[in-house]
């Protein structure tokens, strides 16, 4: 039958060899593709959590009550510990060191007064109305100096006393004749010409400012702004530190807290290697303005909070936005002030001299962030 013919196999059926399965890659095809990454639990939303069964006891939320009295007590305790740390470190001068510096300033004032009258007598002038004086500035004047700090003092003389002859020759001879004076050097080619010496073992930087009057002592204490408009450029730069210190002391709401903060900042900068103006780091005036800025923003804060706020503010500061205690800023920026511009609080406003480079700027920012991480939980 035809059906039976169709059912017969035609010839011998072909035998197929079963395929061998292996994990090894075929030859010449390279490494196998990486296996697929399984889904990680928690990365995908699986919908709302299931409702608890009826009658289940739900965990009660944890409520943290902030005890303001306890927080204030902790802040006050940390401020006391900070003051104790500064005393143990030796950054605060003793009473004997303070009296010694006061005697040095008094002796320098007498020497300058005798010098001014001698210059007037030699020129046939009127010694009885001729006068000179000594004005302090820097960390000594702000009350934030240490036992090893020097004294920044300006010799203010009358119009008849010249810089090159009467200051660097006549006054130098008078200082050399004093047994208390040693290591006297004249730096005439500096941006601010000065004499540097030691008086009873204390280093003194002594620039000269010449006023266009005979009675220089009375005129400088009168605080007449028209008088400063007539002085030469070198004398103007010498008196900048005095004017800045006076403005800071007027703007700071609490002088004792500011002095404590400034001592902390100077100690921090020295320990971290960023307190050297000559190699592109902080100078004393920079830290003073930054500390005064924090004190003005937080007038009622404790010393501990002020130190924490300092790192919080300036680690996030949008440089090169200038830091200024006033709303006014200078219209021009000298070389070196474009990375971290800090404005001196005087009129007309001026930028603090700075030698900051990109590398020192990055180092300062790194130390500010480090200080923030160490003080973040202590405010």
pLDDT digit of tens for each residue in the chain (379 aa)? 444 444 444 445 444 555 454 444 445 455 556 555 555 444 444 556 677 778 777 777 776 666 778 888 888 899 999 999 998 888 888 899 999 999 999 999 999 999 999 999 999 989 999 999 999 999 999 999 988 889 999 999 999 999 999 999 999 999 999 999 999 999 998 889 999 999 999 999 999 999 999 999 999 886 777 888 889 988 998 998 999 999 999 999 999 999 999 999 999 999 999 999 889 999 999 999 999 999 999 999 999 999 999 999 999 999 989 999 987 766 565 555 678 999 999 877 888 888 899 999 999 999 999 999 999 866 6
Residue 243, strand partner residues: none
| 3-state secondary structure (DSSP) of residue 350 | strand
How buried is residue 277: exposed, middle or buried, by Cβ count under 10 Å (0-12/13-18/19+)? Answer: middle
Fold of the 93-243 domain:
Beta Polymerase; domain 2 (3.30.460)
Q: What is the pLDDT of residue 109?
A: 97
pLDDT of amino acid 35: 58
Could you tell me which of 187, 324, 228, 292 has the C-alpha nearest to residue 220?
Answer: 228
Q: What is the pLDDT of residue 56?
A: 75
Alpha-carbon span 204 to 104, nearest angstrom: 9
Nearest CA to 155 among 183, 197, 121? 197
Which pair of tokens denotes residue 362? 């990055």
pTM comes to: 0.78
Distance from C-alpha of 352 to C-alpha of 336, rounded to nearest angstrom: 10
Give phi and psi for 95, each to the nearest 5: -65, -35
Q: At 320, phi and psi to the nearest 5?
A: -95, 35
Instruction: Say how far apart CA 120 and CA 170 lie, in whole Å.
Output: 12
pLDDT at 224: 75
Half-sphere exposure at residue 136, Cβ-oriented, CA atoms within 13 angstroms: 17
Q: Which residues pair with 350 in a beta bridge?
A: 344
Q: Pairing between strand 151-157 and 202-210? A: parallel
Give the phi and the psi of residue 108 in degrees, each rounded to 5. Answer: -65, -35
Q: So what's the pLDDT on residue 6?
A: 40
Report DSSP state, residue 346. Answer: S
Tell me if 294 sits within 8 A of 313, measured CB to CB: yes
SS3 (DSSP) at 243: helix
Measured distance CA(172)–CA(177) in Å, rounded: 9
Measured CA to CA, the distance from residue 215 to residue 136 in angstroms comes to 19
Domain boundary assignment for the chain: 93-243, 252-379
Return d(Cα 75, Cα 1) in angstroms, integer.
111
> Which of 292, 309, 270 minimizes the C-alpha distance to 345?
292
pLDDT at position 226 is 80
Question: How many residues are listed for the chain in this entry?
Answer: 379
Which tokens belong to 69? 């009295």
* CA distances to 45, 205, 299, 322 from 327, in Å: 51, 32, 18, 10
- 252-379 CATH: 1.10.1410.10
C-alpha angle 66-71-73 in degrees, rounded to nearest 5: 145
Supply the pLDDT for residue 176. 96
Q: Other CB atoms closer than 10 Å to residue 116's CB: what's the count? A: 27
- The pLDDT assigned to 8 comes to 46
The sign of the dihedral angle between the CA atoms of 162, 163, 169, 170 is positive
Max CA separation in the chain (angstroms): 158
Report the distance separating Cα 197 and Cα 188, nearest Å: 14
């Amino acid at each position: 039958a035809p059906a039976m013919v169709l059912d017969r196999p035609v010839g011998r059926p072909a035998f197929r060899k079963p395929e061998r399965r292996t994990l090894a890659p075929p030859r010449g095809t390279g490494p196998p593709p990486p296996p697929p990454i399984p889904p990680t639990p928690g990365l995908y939303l699986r919908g709302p959590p299931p409702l608890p069964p009826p009658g289940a006891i739900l965990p009660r939320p944890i409520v943290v009550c902030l005890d303001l009295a306890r927080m204030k007590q902790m802040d006050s305790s940390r401020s006391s510990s900070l003051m104790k740390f500064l005393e143990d470190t030796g950054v605060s001068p003793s009473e004997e060191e303070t009296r010694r510096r006061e005697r040095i300033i008094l002796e320098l004032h007498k020497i300058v007064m005798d010098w001014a009258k001698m210059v007037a007598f030699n020129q046939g002038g009127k010694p009885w109305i001729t006068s000179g004086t000594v004005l302090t500035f820097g960390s000594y004047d702000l009350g934030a100096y240490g036992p090893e700090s020097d004294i920044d003092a300006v010799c203010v003389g009358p119009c008849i006393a010249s810089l090159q002859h009467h200051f660097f020759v006549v006054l130098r001879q008078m200082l050399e004749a004093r047994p208390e004076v040693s290591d006297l050097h004249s730096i005439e080619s500096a941006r601010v010409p000065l004499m540097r010496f030691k008086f009873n073992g204390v280093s003194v930087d002594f620039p000269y400012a010449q006023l266009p009057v005979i009675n220089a002592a009375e005129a400088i204490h009168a605080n007449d702004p028209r008088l400063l408009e007539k002085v030469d450029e070198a004398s103007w730069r010498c008196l900048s530190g005095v004017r800045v210190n006076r403005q800071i002391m007027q703007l700071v709401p609490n002088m004792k807290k500011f002095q404590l903060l400034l001592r902390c900042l100077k100690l921090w900068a020295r320990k971290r290697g960023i307190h050297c103006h000559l190699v592109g780091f902080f100078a004393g005036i920079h830290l003073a303005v930054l500390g005064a800025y924090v004190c003005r923003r937080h007038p009622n804060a404790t010393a501990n909070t002020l130190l924490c706020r300092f790192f919080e503010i300036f680690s996030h500061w949008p440089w090169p936005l200038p830091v200024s205690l006033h709303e006014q800023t200078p219209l021009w920026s000298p070389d070196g002030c474009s990375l971290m511009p800090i404005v001196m609080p005087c009129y007309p406003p001026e930028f603090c001299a700075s030698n900051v480079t990109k590398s020192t700027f990055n180092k300062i920012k790194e130390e500010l962030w480090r200080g923030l991480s160490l003080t973040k939980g202590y405010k």
